Amino acid sequence: MEYLNYVVIGIFVLFMLQRLLPTKGVKQISTSALKNELNDQNKQFVDVRTPVEFKGNHIRGFKNIPLHQLANNVNELSKEKEIVVICQSGMRSNKASKLLKKKGFKQVTNVKGGISAW
């Protein structure tokens, strides 16, 4: 029975690590590095926070596509351009990055720390 407890704990730890670790193939940048990229016309900037969060404070040039709507709105984005994704802390944008990679987007960048680090 004790062995089973260790297995359950191990699975839980792996599950949590998988959620927290950066997605393979997704570039991670800091908010200071983001400042140098904001004028790049070859990039798309997506904020995956809720409309209320976005309205309260956002970075000019970012388009608001809430995480829960992203899967149904990927057709608004070009697979030819890099996508830079941000949220409040970096957790939702990491999820969004995984989703975009699964949908066939090749160049995806997650902003570490999100708006909170801005």
CATH number for the domain spanning 36: value is: 3.40.250.10
Position 110 in a domain: yes
In angstroms, the CA 85 to CA 107 distance is: 11
pLDDT at 36 over 80: yes
pTM, 2 dp: 0.82
Are 115 and 49 in contact, with CB atoms under 8 Å apart?
Answer: yes
Are 77 and 83 in contact, with CB atoms under 8 Å apart?
Answer: yes
Mean pLDDT of 68-96: 96
Mean pLDDT of 37-46: 95
Mean pLDDT of the chain: 91
Position 65 in a domain: yes
Rounded to 5 degrees, φ, ψ at 6 are -65, -40
Annotated active-site residue 46? The verdict is no
Which listed residue (87, 99, 100, 115) is catalytic? Answer: 87
Summarised one tens digit per residue, pLDDT across range 43-72 is: 999 999 999 999 999 999 999 999 999 999
pLDDT at 18 over 80: no
Q: How many domains, in total, are found in the chain?
A: 1
Position 100 in a domain: yes
